[in-house]
Amino acid sequence: MDIEGKRGIMPCRRQFGAWRETAGCLRQVKNNNYEEPDNMNLLSNLVLGGMTCLLLVLPVLAQEADLVLRNGVVWTVDDNNPRGEAIASLGDKIVYVGSDAGVEQYIGPDTRVVDLGGKLVTPGFNDNHVHFESTGRLLYGLSLLDISDQAGFVGRIRDVHERYAPGTWIVGGDWSAYETWAAGDIGEAGRQVNPDDLYGNLFLPNKEMIDDFTRDRPVLVRRFDRKVYLANSAALERAGIGPGTPDPPGISVERSAAGEPTGALFNPVSGAVESTVLVRDNVRTLFRNLIPEPSRDQRIAETLEAWKKMASVGVTSYCDITSNPVYVDIYREMREKDLMTARVRYRPPLDKWEYMSGLGIRIGFGDEWIRFGAVKAWIDGIMGNSSARFYEPYTHNPASRGIWRDIMFPFERSPDNPEEMQSRLERLALDADNAGIQLTVHAIGDEANGYLMDMLERIIEKNGDKDRRFRLVHAQVMTDRDIERGGRMKIVAEVQPYHTSDDMRWMEERIGRDRSRGAYAFRRLWDSGAIVSFGTDSPGTNASRYFLNPMLGLYAAVTRKTLSGQPEGGWFPQEKITIEEAIRAYTLNTAYAGFEENIKGSLEVGKLADFVILSDNLLTMDPDDIKDVAILMTVVGGKVVYEAQ
């Protein structure tokens, strides 16, 4: 075990040398005054000279740490000092990583000392992709993703109703996400609906289930695919939908035999439940101006709930893909009140680059808690509803290759003129890159990823080769050629490994075995020279829930199995990476992706004291059990922000 100590002021191997230096000063004083006959004068010089030498060397002696963890396995992700037994922090910085013996000098009467009992310590996890606003809303508000029956549906809505302030709308939900395809099964064994059924024979709620306790509160919740919404009576009344009213344009209102709306509102669809390319969400459009923005108090409550969850799973930093400027001021307020428990890298949309540049914002703008400098754009859809853009048609839907998505309107529609969209994207990307702003662009299908590799080559040709760290967001399905090009251009592959466990359930059914070989190609991306960075994409899409827990991503990356352990040996097992590589992808590589590798991402003296204690040793345990590992303690900036009971 490498336990060479590191100290914040001086390496511990030099400690005795420092004392020898002190003694040498004393001897030198004595020699200089050897002929002085006055013994008192000699003593005075000795004392004063010795004190001077002591003052000179005091800064190199160990300072009392605030927190010391010892008797464990400290996995640093620092190639020069990969492993230790102990770690110490003072203020918000790491001051020591090394042996148990070496850390003793940092322990004082006020130091909190934690005996790890052999437990593993790693850097705090750095999530590369969190939709923070919707994550907070899902955690504090309503989640129906795993609900497909009346009891669960009513119970969840009642819970939120009792928690929300009077009059606040209850929205979202996404019920039945796992009713179309079982969460743990892969391939045809997981199919649970008739693929030729336009709406799917799924759970369909009605307003009578919830009207009795939500009479004074509007409720508008949706099924996972947004083909069906459920509105209670209060919401229907606000939308002007009643027994004698015509259906709103583009919406089918389900009615009883007497003409009374049941609350179910259907968007127009074409294609089967799992192969619809993209639904125009007319229900959302109808209600958009009726639903008030959440109050600031509610947003703050959602923010604190999201941070609480992050702390409990060991996430100490994250990239916020929210794009809602309201959160910049909330972050500011929470920081001023010393309530932040996770560091954030905020990522506005690409079309705001000029405004950012005018304010002087460049890569790295901000501080250790709140940082700017990158922008986000979209180019295609998602695998969950078969809207990701491919070179060839979908296997299960030969009429579609997916869509090109408008870069600034990700949820509503496919652009009317894809060529114009691509031209606009490239023009904005060139200008933002030239202004020193980092580019991050969403791409799922192989054609979308290929187009971005083409675009990046043109950007490099026009703006020159520099340390731009282009972030290819998701990089889900790539051709061999594009993997090679990505490595050559040193892209950051901003991937979310749990997608593998989730999407393998139906991936081959949608794009076939051959194209699936290029899905989540972590091993080949890593070996190509690309920087593989991990995160979650929390809270998920309208097809799946992506949890903040990094253990699910680590498990997926090293096993390539569903949560139920399928298939035996892993899905395309040649794309597995090691647990050491996976930890690096979730810590140092994500810090690198944000130009922050010099201040966080590894456990080194002088870096931010962001680290976690885990219940089990990820390095030696059975990979199949990684998903069940718990966080025992989370430390951010030297402060304990979570401790398991």
**Which of 386-390, 391-395, 482-486 has the least mean pLDDT?**
386-390
Phi, psi for residue 538 in degrees, rounded to 5? -55, 145
Angle at 295 between CA 374 and CA 129, to 5 degrees: 25
Give the confidence band of 19 by pLDDT, cuts at 50, 70, 90: very low
Both tokens of residue 319? 């990239």
- Among residues 166, 145, 167, which one has the least CA distance to residue 156? 145
Residue 374 sits at φ, ψ, to 5 deg, of -130, 155
Q: What are the tens digits of pLDDT across the range 120-139?
A: 999 999 999 999 999 999 89
Specify the pLDDT at position 413.
54
Residue with tokens 């401790």: 643
Query: How far does CA 4 lie from the centroid of its chain?
Result: 33
Structure tokens at 332: 């500011």
Percent of all residues in the chain with a pLDDT value above 70, rounded to a whole number? 83
What are the E-state strand segments in 300-342? 315-320
- The predicted model gives 464-486 an average pLDDT of 98
* Domains of the chain with bracketed CATH: 6-124 (2.30.40.10), 141-288 (no CATH)
Q: Which helix (H) or strand (E) holds 535?
A: none
pLDDT for position 407 = 74
Residue 562, both tokens: 């569903």
Model confidence pLDDT, tens digit, residues 535-575: 999 987 656 678 999 999 999 999 999 999 999 999 999 99
Integer-rounded Cα radius of gyration of the chain: 29
Select the more confidently predicted residue: 11 or 63: 63
Rounded to an integer, what distance in angstroms lies between the CA atom of residue 495 and that of residue 498? Answer: 9
pLDDT at 261 over 50: yes
Residue 501: HSE in the Cβ half-sphere, 13 Å Cα cutoff: 26
Cα gap 505→41, rounded to integer Å: 87
Reported as a pLDDT band with limits 50, 70 and 90, residue 184 is: very low
Confidence of residue 375 (pLDDT cuts 50, 70, 90): very high
Residue 183: pLDDT band (50, 70, 90) is very low
Residue 438 has pLDDT above 80, yes or no: yes
Compute the C-alpha angle 330/332/335, nearest 5°: 105
Q: Say what percent of the chain tops pLDDT 90.
A: 71
Whether the per-residue pLDDT at 8 is higher than 50: the answer is no
Task: Give residue 202's pLDDT.
Answer: 81
Sheet with 252-255, strands from edge to edge, namely 170-175, 219-223, 228-231, 261-266, 252-255
pLDDT of residue 585: 99
Who's near 266: CB < 8 A, 6+ residues apart? Answer: 199, 227, 228, 251, 252, 253, 254
- Report how far residue 12's alpha carbon sits from residue 99's, in angstroms, rounded to the nearest whole number: 10
* pLDDT, the chain, mean: 87
pLDDT digits (tens, 9 = 90+) for 316-343: 999 999 778 899 999 999 999 999 999 9
Residue 611 · residue 635 · CB < 8 Å: yes
Q: Helix (H, G, I), strand (E, B), or coil: what is residue 289?
A: coil
Q: Give the rounded distance of the alpha carbon of 506 from its chain centre.
A: 24
Q: Is the pLDDT of residue 194 over 80?
A: no
pLDDT band at 179 (very low <50, low <70, confident <90, very high): low
3 state SS for 458-525: HHHHHHCCCCCCCEEEECCECCHHHHHHHHHCCCEEEECCHHHHHHCCCHHHHHHHHHHCCECCHHHH
Question: What integer pLDDT is reported at residue 6 of this predicted model?
Answer: 42
Q: Is the pLDDT of residue 151 over 80?
A: yes
The pLDDT value given to residue 180: 57
